[in-house]
Amino acid sequence: MQGDLVEIRLGPQRAWMVCHPELVHRMLRDTRTFDKGGPQYDRLRALMGDGVVTCPHAEHRRQRRLLQPTFRPAGVAAQTDAMAEEAALMCRDWRSGQRVDVSAATLGLTTRLISGLLLSDSLGPAAADEVRHCLAAIVRGLFVRTVIPVDALFRLPTPANRRYRRAVERVRELIDTAIEERRRGAPRDDLLGLLLDAAADADGGPPVTDREVHDQLVSLLLTGSESPSMCLASTFSLLARHPEVERRLHAEIDGVLAGRLPDADDLPRLVYTRAVLTETLRHSPPGWLFTRVTTRETEFAGRRMPRGTTVLYSPYLLHHDPASFPEPDRFMPERWLEREAAARPQAALIPFAAGSRKCIGDVFSMAEMTVALATIAGRWRLRHPAGRVTSPRPGATLGPRSLTMICTSRADAPGGTAPHGLALGSKAGTTISGTKNIRRDGDNGVHHA
């Protein structure tokens, strides 16, 4: 170890782990020298191509500018009603005492929400559910491909390798089908429409190719589904183990919403709800380990690094450093309330990365998670079944992948104040029973106890 760099091994390769938040920010700001690369991104590019998530520095600025309009705050605010309605539909058929597959339910929810932003209704309920199943196989396979960078092992016809390849191929097929159907249909105001317009009118700049349209959709669909799903599942697991936090969360939701669904105007008022999610992102960040590769010889933290050096940083490591976060293993949303947050080293919290390559969907993700948490926790308590709670195992992302919990309606619980009916229109006040009979069998994650 030298300073705040730790030498590690990735299979046969030597790499360096950056362990100080200031050094991590210095690295993330210098995207020319520390470009996206290394075993992690080599594997991701094989899956996602060269979309905005994985593209090299030279391509990133153009791609970011092209996609940014979809993720502007005004556009995200316009999605909040749809976010709330989808969250309400997700838990509509839950009944007190049922076992709920929370991991499957939250992944189904986030897959539908990001596919709506990217593709409107071009990816129907059945296709979105198929993407969810494929994503589970992809995420399992990605991690082992990152930590064991030996291609020959993954060409073997093992069951796991076959599942991974089938899942990747099927996601690509579903996206290509949606693109072709859109080309034959009416224009829509979504990210696919924006990309197709750009492909038709290059306006003197680099052309947007069919491959780029495909790559952008695949990369944003997969990353925009997995990470917020992991965060929501982790949040419910942590709330069940911290009843005082849960009670304070319920009090805020009841006071702000009074039983209706949240809308865009409610987001700034759900202060503690957002603090709960921020603390989850600190305590259990879905994106827990990332790699970069040097594009030229450089001096970094007193160490000479040749061109092609793999450098890693871990949000989990930074978020659990007691120098930045006292009692780092404790789940304390109060850290992020105004007075406490002012004293926190903000640079040490990087759940969405930092610099010019900060996650393009960070505002959308925080909004959907806030809306989903307020909607679900306003009506339901989730409890762990009796027995030991299994700690999440790291994979390509960090979080519970098979979290089963028992749900109890807050209207039925002692002292429960939330209304039993689910309001689907925050202003109209209509209940779920008065809306269209929308049923998505298989994606609500419910098991009868």
Nearest-angstrom CA–CA distance, 190 and 178: 13
Nearest-angstrom CA–CA distance, 20 and 321: 9
Q: Are 109 and 363 a contacting pair, CB within 8 Å?
A: no
Q: What is the dihedral of CA 28, 34, 35, 37, to 10 degrees?
A: -110
In this structure, the number of other CB atoms found within 10 A of the CB of residue 147 comes to: 15
What are phi and psi for residue 412, nearest 5 degrees?
A: -90, -20
Closest CA to 76 of 417, 362, 305: 362
Q: Are 284 and 273 a contacting pair, CB within 8 Å?
A: no
Please report where in the chains the tokens 């309606």 appear, as a residue: 409
Closest CA to 229 of 404, 78, 102, 392: 102
Amino acid at 292: R
- Give the H/E segment covering residue 382: strand 380-383
Measured CA to CA in angstroms, residue 437 lies from 28, 87, 116 at distances of: 48, 15, 19
Q: What is the dihedral of CA 297, 299, 305, 311, to 10 degrees?
A: -110
DSSP assignment string, 322-355: TTTSSSTTS--GGGGSHHHHHTS-GGG--TT--G
Nearest-angstrom CA–CA distance, 292 and 16: 10
Give the pLDDT of the chain (449 residues) as one tens digit per residue: 345 899 988 767 789 999 999 999 999 999 999 999 877 787 788 888 899 999 999 999 999 999 999 999 999 999 999 999 999 999 999 999 999 999 999 999 999 999 999 999 888 888 888 988 888 888 878 777 766 666 777 788 888 888 889 999 999 999 999 999 999 988 899 999 999 999 887 666 778 899 999 999 999 999 999 999 999 999 999 999 999 999 999 999 999 999 999 999 999 999 999 999 999 999 999 999 999 999 999 999 999 999 999 999 999 999 999 999 999 999 999 999 987 766 666 789 999 999 999 999 999 999 999 999 999 999 999 999 997 777 776 777 888 988 999 999 998 765 555 554 444 444 443 333 233 333 344 444 444 34
Cα 191 from chain centroid? 18
Amino acid at 411: A
Nearest-angstrom CA–CA distance, 372 and 374: 6
